[in-house]
Amino acid sequence: MTDKPKKASSSHTEAQMFVISVAAELAGMHAQTLRTYDRLGLVTPQRTSGGGRRYSAHDVALLREVQRLSQDEGVNLAGIKRIIELTNQVSALQHRIEEMAAEIAALHASYRRDLVPVPRSTALVVWQPKNRR
């Protein structure tokens, strides 16, 4: 299929939740493995009011990554947990950098009208702000 999914269906897919048996099948592992990963804090599914686990598409992707790191890369579960923590930390820091860059751009734009370009020379330029009383 070459058509791109519509925006509405994309949002619906992102919000879709799976019971443990379906998530296990999608991730290619046993449901008991998902319970173990939940207990270890590798993947934290949402819970129903009755305590049942509900996995998002993001959770399933994370389960697949845990499996890849374990089987293909030989990383133990403690190492995988640390990798996940560090990846989340990097994402949070990148988001904060984007926020700060936007703040700096907004501040720069507000001060830009007060700046006067001066050709590069050996002259000393003295600037005194206007009285803002």
Give the CATH number of the domain where residue 79 resides: 1.10.1660.10
pLDDT of the residue at 122: 73
State yes or no: pLDDT of 36 exceeds 60.
yes
How many folded domains does the chain comprise?
1
Which range marks the domain in which residue 61 is found?
A: 17-114
Return d(Cα 100, Cα 115) in angstroms, integer: 22
pLDDT of the residue at 115: 63
DSSP letter assigned to residue 51 = S
Give residue-wise pLDDT tens across range 97-128. Answer: 999 999 988 887 776 566 666 677 777 767 77
Residue 69: inside a domain: yes
Residue 35: inside a domain: yes
Residue 29: inside a domain: yes
pLDDT of the residue at 3: 43
Q: Cβ distance 78 to 93 under 8 Å? A: no
Torsion sign over Cα 34, 35, 36, 37: positive
Give residue-wise pLDDT tens across range 39-96. Answer: 999 999 999 999 999 999 999 999 999 999 999 999 999 999 999 999 999 999 999 9
Residue 66: inside a domain: yes
Q: Locate the DSSP E strands across the chain.
A: 17-19, 46-47, 53-56
Residue 130: inside a domain: no
Q: Name which residue leads in pLDDT, 7 or 56.
A: 56
Residue 127: inside a domain: no
